Structure 1
Amino acid sequence: MKKTEKKGNHLAVKMAIAMVLGLICGLAMLMLRENLLTSGQTQTWAAINNLLFQDITAEAGKNAIGLFYIVGQLFVNALQVIIVPMIFCSIALAICQITDTRKLGRISSKTLGAFLLTTAVALVIAGAVGLTVYATGAFNAVEVNGLNVSTGSSGSNPLSILLSIVPNNMTSAFSTNGQVLAVVFLAVATGLGINALGSKVTVLKKLLQEISDIITVCLSYVINKFGPLAIFVLLTRTFAIYGIDHLKPALAYVVTTVLLLLAFLIVGYAVFVAVLGRINPIPFVKKIAKVAVFGFSTSSSAATLPLNRKTVTEELGVSDEIASFTLPLGMTVNMDGTAIMQVIAAIFVAASSGYSVTVSSIAIIAILALIASIGTPAAPGAGAVILFTILTGMGYTNDAALLAYSLILAINRPIEMLVTSLNVVGDAATSVIVARSEKMLDEKQYNAEQN
């Protein structure tokens, strides 16, 4: 156990250092960019950008090198490539290993109940804060003139997400990371089937376990060896390509959302662990910090899942039986940060485009955000795209609303980085709470100090 604690602490220190260095270098690059552009040296910045930061898959990046983009994307791809098999194997194994159907029902109901409770609290707080800021008139002063309209995606009925739970083609569900809910359904069905057949099914169960073991080994190597470097690269590039001119028009939205997300991240989950789990939240806050940093850097719940599972089981003392079920499920249905961002963003769009905002309209926005956030792809940029569904459902579709939505698409990357931190920490908090209630939490390991 001590060896595991030292490894976890060593990795956390390296990630923290990488985050600080990434923020410093990113802000330095941001200031360099602004100075070069304002002084007319656009070609100099273009050369730096093409060498280090340019997306080489974009139209403008045909002749670019994009070193930071390549390194960061390779790391994220290495993590995302195993998301589907990891979710399928972990959930199927977790269910088939719980032979007591009543116990499985309890764990499922407690997990979903905790997810629903945290998201409901997040939505209520976001609605209250959003209405307060709206009443001050801060959102009304936002200037969105001059932006190009960008619809992002077509709006749809939020209830259509229910149809994606049961796939009509098994192979299509496994062919993309965008159908995680379908993979969860198939994993649950497979696990229940193995459970029902008992000793008749041994080869498949062993195969799932061996695939899971291989994934664990590979991911541990990737995260431990390349995680800190990836954090530095991803953070530096994010701030380097981020223009100050995009931030100024929507400062009220950015400040409101960031402060609310930080408050919920730092205080909210500690309170949930203390109240619902009836356990000291300080060890949880200390040990989960590196998961929050990793989620912030990658802006992907899927990419953070391996480290989250490793931290929850090896450092927080949660039984793998619980973590294997709650964390993959949380990655697909528990989106506290996404829900908060979408509520504030919808109020911002409504206020800045001439629509009235009332308590009833905020309640409808919250309900739509709850439904739309379930099944949101665990990948960068997904939350802002899903936001268009909410805006369409509320009827916020005039030209000013589309312009405000375009502004959100332009500035939302740093916010979504913080949103991901909330999502993954919320999954971990639920795992601890459920494990504690089922007496499947090693409290000695949970409270152990990291040397």
Structure 2
Amino acid sequence: MKFNFTKGKNKSTELAIRMALSLVLALLVGTAFILLRESLIANDKASIWNSINNILFQDITTEEGKNALGIFYILGQLFINCLQLIIIPMVFSSIALAMCHISDTKKLGRISSKTLLGFLITSVFALATACVFGFAAYKFGFFNVNLASNTSTSVATANGNNPLLVILDAVPSNITSVMSNNSMVLSIVFLAVVVGLCINNLGEKVLVLKNLLIDLNNIISVFLGFVITKFSPLAVFILVTRTFAVYGLDRLKPALAYMLTVAISSMLFLVIAYPLFVYLTTKLNPIIFMKKVAKVALLGFSAAASSAALSLNEKTTVEELGVSKDIASFVLPLGMTINMNGTAIMQVIAAIFIAASSGYTLTIQNIILIAVLALIASVGTPSAPGSSSIILFTVLTGMGFNNEATLIAYSLIIAINRPIDMLITCLNVIGDSATAVVVANSEGCLNKEIYNS
């Protein structure tokens, strides 16, 4: 008897397989480039590696890359730019149209409260996981790293603003400035909800704007389908290969304990907490959920930005998990802005690592306070690569960690955090989708036939 393994597989499954194969190939090629880099540098042939780096991997926007070719950087950035190009119009049009279809304001209130409750539940468990693993690593002495002064690098820090400013910034004072800034997604959500509800209230009096939003949404769907279907496997390979190639072992060794702690805690949370969250609240098979969102996690991993995965996440959540488009259009953009479970885990463990390696003594009370500050700071973290480690400075200043060793340890985190950013983005995007499934199920807006197909 012959088995046809491709029979019955839809295009989405084929895309997931292609992306998974691209990831495996990227890990192999990236590791080969790391070994090549180390070998050339060890044999006094750094100039050869510099030439390879300039041709393939160099960031051409920096001073060092002004004369470089940077093929992998250019191709990877073009893909990310295509996805980020549609963030503002997609979020605005999808949420506004969703509000047009919700005539019951009580239903909107229920959806909002259930969404925020879902985000809070997963965030609390994520922080608890980070506290347990971070405190254990601290007590076992894994974070007693000897940081030499030469490990410091240029340090980009966040302003020491009150994290609660995220609430104030949710209501913008200027529409044009918000529409031109991808980091102001929470403000876009507010504007879209207001516009959608107003269109809903006016009914037949407003048809042109509503039809314009529908046309814009349709254009975005076609553009998105083309970009993701045709280019995402190649983009996964390019982005992951470049990330591995530009990080030498000299940067990874000093903070290996930190990276392993974040990786282990994140992976356990990913494979245990989210499936349990879906199963306990919906009684649906969580394995089906994890399989279908795997490609979303892969794209988030490759781009290290929730914003880059938002479009694919919405497409997967609606078309494969059976979530109502109205609910997905509201929950996912909001989650991309304020639901940062992976970011919170990283910031707690990073703060513990920095404090321990800088000579500070930590108690359980200190760890809990770090967790609270990380929860608040993660809400205001932009969904862009590297932003989590920048906002980490807010947690450090809030705890009073400010000696010279702290800045050295913090600069080390900045230098090596790209692989961690890639991992925690997976948690962020899957958490958004899981909450959308839970909310849709509670509202009777989940097509279980689609989910189980």
- State the TM bucket, normalised to the shorter chain: over 0.9
In structure 1, the residue matched to 2:143 is 139
Asked if 1:111 is matched to 2:125, the reply is no
Identify which of 184, 204, 208 aligns with 2:209. 204
Specify every segment of 5 or more residues in structure 1 that has no aligned partner in the other structure, as ranges.
none
Identify which of 64, 81, 90 aligns with 1:60. 64
Give the CA RMSD over aligned residues: 1.5
1:21-59 CA deviation, whole Å, 9 max, x = no partner? Answer: 111111100110010011110111011011100111110
* Residue pair 1:181, 1:375 contacting (<8 A) in 2 also: no
Q: Distance in 2 between matches of 1:426 and 1:144?
A: 38
Q: Distance in 1 between matches of 2:377 and 2:192?
A: 22
Asked if 1:301 is matched to 2:293, the reply is no
Q: Distance in 2 between matches of 1:141 and 1:27?
A: 25
Asked if 1:310 is matched to 2:319, the reply is no
Identify which of 252, 277, 294 aligns with 1:289. 294
The alpha-carbon deviation at position 5 of structure 1 amounts to 5.8
In structure 1, the residue matched to 2:330 is 325
* Residue pair 2:95, 2:326 contacting (<8 A) in 1 also: no
* Residue pair 1:296, 1:420 contacting (<8 A) in 2 also: yes
Q: Say which SS state the counterpart of residue 253 (structure 2) adopts.
A: helix
Asked if 1:384 is matched to 2:409, the reply is no
Q: Distance in 2 between matches of 1:149 and 1:26?
A: 24
Identify which of 52, 55, 63 aligns with 1:51. 55
Identify which of 374, 379, 386 aligns with 1:369. 374
In structure 2, the residue matched to 1:101 is 105
* Residue pair 1:376, 1:382 contacting (<8 A) in 2 also: yes
* Residue pair 1:55, 1:69 contacting (<8 A) in 2 also: yes
In structure 1, the residue matched to 2:265 is 260
1:352-387 CA deviation, whole Å, 9 max, x = no partner? Answer: 111121122112111111111113111100100000
* Residue pair 1:158, 1:371 contacting (<8 A) in 2 also: yes
Identify which of 423, 428, 448 aligns with 1:423. 428
Asked if 1:336 is matched to 2:317, the reply is no
1:193-217 CA deviation, whole Å, 9 max, x = no partner? Answer: 1222222222111111110110011
| Change over 3 Å in CA distance of 1:132–1:120 after alignment to 2 | same
* Residue pair 2:155, 2:414 contacting (<8 A) in 1 also: no
Q: Which runs of 4+ in 1 moved over 4 A?
A: 2-5
Q: Distance in 1 between matches of 2:104 and 2:87?
A: 28
Q: Distance in 2 between matches of 1:189 and 1:7?
A: 36
* Residue pair 2:389, 2:413 contacting (<8 A) in 1 also: yes
Specify every segment of 5 or more residues in structure 2 that has no aligned partner in the other structure, as ranges.
1-5
Amino acid at match of 2:328: A
Number of residue-to-residue matches in the alignment: 447
Asked if 1:169 is matched to 2:170, the reply is no
In structure 1, the residue matched to 2:127 is 123
TM score, norm. by length of structure 2: 0.96
Q: Distance in 1 between matches of 2:66 and 2:115?
A: 47
The alpha-carbon deviation at position 4 of structure 1 amounts to 10
The alpha-carbon deviation at position 143 of structure 1 amounts to 2.9
Q: Distance in 2 between matches of 1:252 and 1:152?
A: 23
| Change over 3 Å in CA distance of 1:141–1:15 after alignment to 2 | same
Amino acid at match of 1:405: Y
TM score, norm. by length of structure 1: 0.97
Q: Distance in 2 between matches of 1:151 and 1:145?
A: 13
* Residue pair 2:94, 2:329 contacting (<8 A) in 1 also: yes
